[in-house]
Structure 1
Amino acid sequence: MAKSLKLVLAQPEDTPGIIASAVYAEGRRVAEVPIAEVGEWSRRPGHVVWIGLHEPGLALLRQLQAEFGLHDLAIEDALKAHQRPKLEQYGEALFVVARTAQMLDGRIAFGETHLFVGHGYVVSVRHGASTTYTPVRERCEADPGTLSGGEDYILYAILDFIVDNYMPVIEAIQSEVEEIEDCILAETSTQVHVRRLYQLRRDLLRLRNAAVPLVEVCRRLEQPGLPGIDPVMSPHFRDVSDHIRRVQEEIESLREVLAFAFETSLMAGQAQQTEITRKLAAWAAILAVPTAVAGIYGMNFEHMPELRWQYGYAVVLAIIVSVCGWLYWRFRQNRWL
C-alpha cells in the first residue's frame, strides 16, 4: 500500500521535452509518473499511460522505446519530423503522423504530430508550430466515461483536435481575402495585394496537402483488424474524416475565390495601365500640334509663308490653341481624358 501511494504521488521527471506523463484507469487520472515507470503502468490491466512530448531528443525517445518496445523506424521518423501524414503498423503498435497548422505573422505555419499507440499507452510527439494538447487532455479528463474507452479514444480526440484547428486558419485567410477583394473592387489594390494573393494560394495548397491525406488515415482506422482500435470507435473516426472533407471543400472554394481575386486584380491593373496609356497618347497628340508648327517655323528658310506679316504670330498661336482645344474636346468626348 505504501509503495502504491508513493507511485500515485510521484511527479514526472523534469526532463526537457516532457509536457505531461499521466496514467489513467477507467477514465480517471491515477498518477503522474516518471518515464522510467511508464512501461510498468501500461502493462497493468485497465490502465492507460498518456504521455505528451514536445520536440524530444533522441535519448528520451530511446527511453520510451525501451519502455514500450517501439520500432526503430518509428523512432527515426519521430525524431526527423519531416513526414507525410500516414499510418504505419508495427506489430501490435500503431504509428500515426498528422500535420498541424496555425496562423503566425500572417502566414500558415506547419508542424507535425507523431502518435505512438499501443496496448496501454499513447505517446504524442509535437514538432514545430502546433497548439498544445492540454485542452484535449482537460476535456477528456472532464468526461471519464468517454476517456475510459482507452487509447483509441485518446487517438481520436487528438486527431479531431488537429482537424478542428484547421478551420481557424481557413477563416483567418477568408477574412483577409474579403478585405483584399473590397480593395480590388474599390480600385485601390496595389502590387502588394497581388503578391499577398499569390502567397495565400500557395499556403492553401500546402494546407490541402497536409489535411487531405488524413482522410486515408481515418479510413484505415475505421476498418476492423487494427490492434488496439475497438470497432465501436469507427463512427468517431468517420466523423473526423467528414471534418477533413469539409476542410478540403473550404480550401478548394477559397482557392477558387483567390484565383478569381488574383485574376481580377491583374485585369484591374491592366485596365489602369490602359487608361494611363490612353491619357498619355491623348496628351501626346495634343502636344504634337504646337510641336509640329514650331518645328516648321523653326527651320532656317528665307521664304516662308506669313514670315513678315505683322499678324502672323498671333494667327499661328490662335490656330495652335484652336486645334489643341478641339483635340482636347474630342478626347474628352471619347473619355480618353
Structure 2
Amino acid sequence: MSKKNRARRNKQKTGLSPGTVVYTGHKSEQKLFIEAFNYSPTHVKEEEIPSVDGVFSYKSDSKDHVTWININGLNHTDVIERIGTHFNIHPLILEDIANTSQRPKVDEFEDYLSLNMKMLYYDVEKGLITEQISLILGHNYVLSFQEAEGDVFNELRERIRHGKGRIRTLGSDYLFYALIDNIVDHYFVVVETLGDKIEDLEDDLFNGSTQEFISTQIQDLKREILRIRRSIFPLRDIINRIEKSEHRLIDSKNLPFFQDLYDHTIQVNENTEVYREMVWGLMDMYMTGLSNKMNEVMKVLTIISTIFIPLTFIAGIYGMNFDNMPELHYQYSYPILLIIMLVMFVLMIFYFKRKKWL
C-alpha cells in the first residue's frame, strides 16, 4: 500500500466523534452479501439474505437453534449500524468492525463477546491476502463481518450442512471457536507457504545465485513476514483471555477446545518467529555471496594484471624503438590496430558477462 493511501485512511477518521462507523479499507466497491445458517442437531436451514431486513428475523432466544449470520462488505456502514442497533452492539465495537487497520483484540460485554482479527490466505494471482474479520458471539448466535467475499470457512459450512462432527450438537460458543480455529488453521498454511518460499530462496543463495531480483524477493519476504506477524502475534493473548474470562456465553465443557486453540496460536507464533529470523539472515547470505563473488573476480583480474605487469614494464622501457618493424610502414596499420583494439574490447565485455561479472 502506498504512503498516499495510508495517509488517506488515517485522515478518514480524523475529527470524528468516537463510535462513528467509517470504513477505512480500499474495497469500497464491494457488493453486500449476507448469508445465514440456522441449525439444530436435527435440521439446518441455509439462506442467502437479499437485504439487511432479513437478518432481524433470526434473533431468537430459542435454546435449540444456533444461527450464524455472515456479512460480506464492510464498506456498507449503514448495514453494520442497523445490525448493531438490532443486536444492541456498542457503537465503539461497530467502529472497530469497519476499521480495517484495527489491531486484533477481544472485548467482553455482558450479553456478547466481540473479536477482531485478520484472516490470511494466499491467492494465486494476488499473493498474500490480509482481510479484516470481526466476530460477535451472542446468545445462540454468531455474527461475522468480512471485508470482502472469499474466506476460509468452506469446510465449516460443509460440516454444518451435513452434520459432520459435533458442530450441530454444541452451542454458539463452539461455532465461535470453530470459526477462529479455521482461521488459525490457515495461519499454518500461510506460514508453511512462506517457509517454502524462504527455503527455495535460501537454496538459490547457497547455489551461488546473486541476481539482482533476489534482493527484491528478500525485501518482499520481509514485508510479508511483518504483515503475518502483526496479524498473528496478538492472537495468543486474545485466546488466553477468552479461555480465562469465565464469560457466561462460554460453556465450561467447551473450554478444552479454546485451550487447544491457545496451543495452536503458540505454535504458529513460534513458527513465524523462526521464519522471521531466517528472512533477516537471507540478506546477510546475499551480501556474503556478492562479496565472495567479487573476491573471485578480483583474484582473476589480479592474476591477469600480474602477468602483464612485467610485459608492460619492458614495453615501457624500450617502447617502439626498433628499426625492424614492418607494420610501421603499412598503409592501413593504424585502422587495423584500432579494429583489433575494438574487437578485444567487445570480446572482454562478452567474457565478463558470460562469467556474470557484469
2: CA distance, partners of 1:253 / 1:90: 36
The Cα of 1:273 is off from its aligned counterpart by: 0.6
The Cα of 1:33 is off from its aligned counterpart by: 7.7
- Given that 1:27 and 1:143 are in contact with CA atoms closer than 8 Å, whether structure 2 keeps it comes out as no
Q: Is 1:160 the counterpart of 2:160 in the alignment?
A: no
Q: Quick one: which of 47, 61, 69 aligns to 1:51?
A: 69
Q: Quick one: which of 38, 42, 67 aligns to 1:23?
A: 38
Secondary structure of the residue aligned to 2:142 is strand
Q: Where in structure 1 are there 5+ consecutive unaligned residues?
A: 1-14, 300-306, 312-337
1: CA distance, partners of 2:185 / 2:322: 90
Task: List, as ranges, runs of 4+ consecutive aligned residues in structure 1 with deviation greater than 4 Å.
Answer: 307-311
AA at the equivalent of 2:293: Q
Match of 2:4 in 1: none
Q: Is 1:36 the counterpart of 2:53 in the alignment?
A: yes
Q: What are the superposed Cα offsets for residues 293-322 of structure 1, whole Å, 9 maximum, x if unpaired?
A: 3233349xxxxxxx67989xxxxxxxxxxx
The Cα of 1:96 is off from its aligned counterpart by: 0.3
The Cα of 1:103 is off from its aligned counterpart by: 2.0
Q: What are the superposed Cα offsets for residues 88-135 of structure 1, whole Å, 9 maximum, x if unpaired?
A: 123412110111112234743211110111113211111269624232
- Given that 1:109 and 1:129 are in contact with CA atoms closer than 8 Å, whether structure 2 keeps it comes out as no
AA at the equivalent of 1:41: Y
AA at the equivalent of 2:35: A
Q: Quick one: which of 220, 224, 240 aligns to 1:199?
A: 220
Match of 1:136 in 2: 156
Match of 2:302 in 1: 281
1: CA distance, partners of 2:269 / 2:203: 25
Secondary structure of the residue aligned to 2:295 is helix
Pairing of 1:230-269 with structure 2 (within 5 A): 230-269=251-290
Q: Is 1:81 the counterpart of 2:100 in the alignment?
A: yes
Secondary structure of the residue aligned to 1:69 is coil
1: CA distance, partners of 2:193 / 2:149: 17
Q: Quick one: which of 171, 174, 185 aligns to 2:192?
A: 171
Q: What are the superposed Cα offsets for residues 242-284 of structure 1, whole Å, 9 maximum, x if unpaired?
A: 1111111211222233344432222111000111112222222
Match of 1:118 in 2: 138
AA at the equivalent of 2:32: G
The Cα of 1:65 is off from its aligned counterpart by: 1.7
2: CA distance, partners of 1:280 / 1:33: 72
Q: Where in structure 2 are there 5+ consecutive unaligned residues?
A: 1-29, 326-358
AA at the equivalent of 1:267: T
2: CA distance, partners of 1:198 / 1:94: 38
Q: Quick one: which of 108, 113, 135 aligns to 1:94?
A: 113
The Cα of 1:84 is off from its aligned counterpart by: 0.8
Match of 1:229 in 2: 250
The Cα of 1:85 is off from its aligned counterpart by: 0.8
Alpha carbons of 1:27 and 1:279: their partners in 2 closer, same or farther (altered >3 Å)?
farther
2: CA distance, partners of 1:272 / 1:129: 48
2: CA distance, partners of 1:129 / 1:258: 31
2: CA distance, partners of 1:144 / 1:163: 19
2: CA distance, partners of 1:257 / 1:31: 45
AA at the equivalent of 1:255: R
The Cα of 1:163 is off from its aligned counterpart by: 0.5
Secondary structure of the residue aligned to 1:146 is coil
Alpha carbons of 1:66 and 1:25: their partners in 2 closer, same or farther (altered >3 Å)?
farther
Q: What are the superposed Cα offsets for residues 133-166 of structure 1, whole Å, 9 maximum, x if unpaired?
A: 2322222342374333221111101100000001
Using the size of structure 2 for normalisation, the TM-score is: 0.72
Match of 2:90 in 1: 71
Q: Identity across aligned pairs (percent)?
A: 25
The Cα of 1:290 is off from its aligned counterpart by: 2.8
Alpha carbons of 1:178 and 1:41: their partners in 2 closer, same or farther (altered >3 Å)?
closer
The Cα of 1:23 is off from its aligned counterpart by: 2.2
> What is the aligned-residue RMSD (CA, Å)?
2.7
Secondary structure of the residue aligned to 2:101 is coil
Q: What are the superposed Cα offsets for residues 214-253 of structure 1, whole Å, 9 maximum, x if unpaired?
A: 1111111112432411122211111111111111121122
Match of 2:233 in 1: 212
The Cα of 1:174 is off from its aligned counterpart by: 2.0
1: CA distance, partners of 2:33 / 2:149: 17
